[in-house]
Amino acid sequence: MPQKACKSCGQGFEISPDDLAFYTQITVPTPTLCPDCRMQRRMAFRNERNLYKRTCDFSGREMISLYPASSPYKIYEQSVWWSDQWDPMEYGMDYDPSRPFFEQFGELLLKVPRIALQNNKNENSAYGNDTSNLKNCYLCFNAQDMEDCCYVTTGGFNSRDCLDLFWSLGCELSYECTKATGAYHCFFCFNSSEISDCRFCEDCVGCKNCFGCVGLRQKEYCIYNQQATKAQYEEFMKNFHFTPESIQAEKEKLRALRLTVPCKNLAIHNSEDCEGDFISDSKNCSACFDVMYSQNGKYIWDAMVNNSYDCYNTGLDTNFAFEAVATYVVNNVKCTNICTHSSDLSICDSCTQSEHLLGCVSLKHKKYCILNKQYSKEDYEALVPKIIAAMQRDGEWGEFFPAQLSPFGYNDSMAAEYFPLTRDQALAQGFQWNDTVKPTPTTNTSESILQCKKDQKHYRITPEELKFYQREALPLPELCPDCRHYERKALLNPRKLWDRSCMKCAAPIKTTYAPNRQEIVYCEACTLKELY
Q: Residue 460 corresponds to which amino acid?
A: R
Q: Report, as an integer, the average pLDDT of 180-207.
A: 97
Residue 314 burial by CB count (10 A; 0-12/13-18/19+): exposed, middle or buried? buried
Q: How many CA atoms lie within 13 A of 144 on its CB side?
A: 6
pLDDT of residue 266: 96
What pLDDT is attached to residue 443? Answer: 62
Helix axis angle for 377-394 and 101-111, nearest 10°, is 120
Q: Which of 71, 140, 44 is nearest to 434 (CA)?
A: 71
Rounded CA separation 313/133 (Å): 19
Report the alpha-carbon distance of residue 337 to residue 326 in Å, rounded: 6
pLDDT in tens, 278-293: 999 999 999 999 999 9
The residue ranges of DSSP E strands in 161-249, in sequence order, are 163-169, 175-184, 190-196, 208-211, 220-223, 226-227
pTM for the full predicted model: 0.94
Q: What is the pLDDT of residues 165-193, one digit of tens each?
A: 999 999 999 999 999 999 999 999 999 99
| SS3 state at 161 | coil
Strand stretches in 9-74, DSSP E: 12-14, 52-55, 62-65
Are 107 and 94 in contact by the 8 Å Cβ rule? The answer is no
Q: How many CB atoms lie within 10 A of CB 225?
A: 18
Statement: residue 455 has pLDDT above 70: yes
HSE, side-chain direction, 13 A CA sphere, residue 231: 0
Which helix or strand (DSSP H or E) is residue 382 part of? helix 377-394
pLDDT of residue 236: 97
Structure confidence at residue 222 (pLDDT): 98
The bridge status of strand 208-211 relative to strand 220-223 is parallel
| Pairing assessment for the beta strands 328-337 and 295-325 based on DSSP bridges | parallel
- What is the separation of C-alpha 391 from the centre of its chain, rounded to a whole number of angstroms? 30
Helices (H) and strands (E) in the chain, counts: 12, 31
Nearest to 209 by CA among 193, 201, 200, 220: 220
Cα–Cα dist 24/271, whole Å = 27
Q: What integer pLDDT is reported at residue 252 of this predicted model?
A: 97
> What band does 498 get if pLDDT is binned at 50, 70 and 90?
very high
- Could you give the CA distance from residue 401 to residue 415 in angstroms, rounded to a whole number? 14
Other residues' Cβ atoms within 10 Å of the Cβ of residue 136 = 16
**Which percentage of the chain shows pLDDT scores above 90?**
94
384, containing H or E segment: helix 377-394
How many CA atoms lie within 13 Å of 9's alpha carbon, on the beta-carbon side?
13
First to last CA, the chain: 40
Q: Which helix (H) or strand (E) holds 238?
A: helix 230-239
- Give per-residue burial for 456-467: e unless 16+ CB within 10 Å, then b: ebebbbbebbee
Instruction: Judge whether residue 532 has pLDDT over 80.
Output: no
> How many other CB atoms are found less than 10 A from the CB of residue 367?
17
Bridge partners of 322, per DSSP, are 309, 334
* DSSP 8-class letter at 476: P
**Position 444 confidence tier, pLDDT thresholds 50, 70, 90:** low
CA torsion sign for 518, 523, 526, 532 is: positive
For residue 230, count CB atoms less than 10 angstroms from its CB and return exposed for 0-12, middle for 13-18, buried for 19 or more. exposed
Helix (H, G, I), strand (E, B) or coil at 463: helix
Confidence of residue 446 (pLDDT cuts 50, 70, 90): low
Within a 10 A sphere around the Cβ of 24, how many other Cβ atoms? Answer: 11
User: If you average pLDDT over residues 516-522, what whole number do you get?
Assistant: 96
pLDDT of residue 298: 97
Element (H, E) at 498: strand 498-501
CB 281 within 8 A of CB 270: yes
> What are the extents of the domains in the chain?
3-35, 127-264, 278-403, 498-531
Q: How far is residue 27's CA from residue 113's CA, in Å, rounded to a whole number?
A: 31
Please count the CA atoms within 13 angstroms of the CA of 387 that sit on its side-chain side.
Answer: 22
Mean pLDDT of the chain: 95
Q: What angle do CA 206, 209, 211 make, to 5 degrees?
A: 105
Mean pLDDT value across residues 310-317:
93
Residue 200, Cβ density class (10 Å: 0-12 exposed, 13-18 middle, ≥19 buried): buried
Measured between alpha carbons, how far is 108 from 103 in angstroms, rounded to an integer? 9
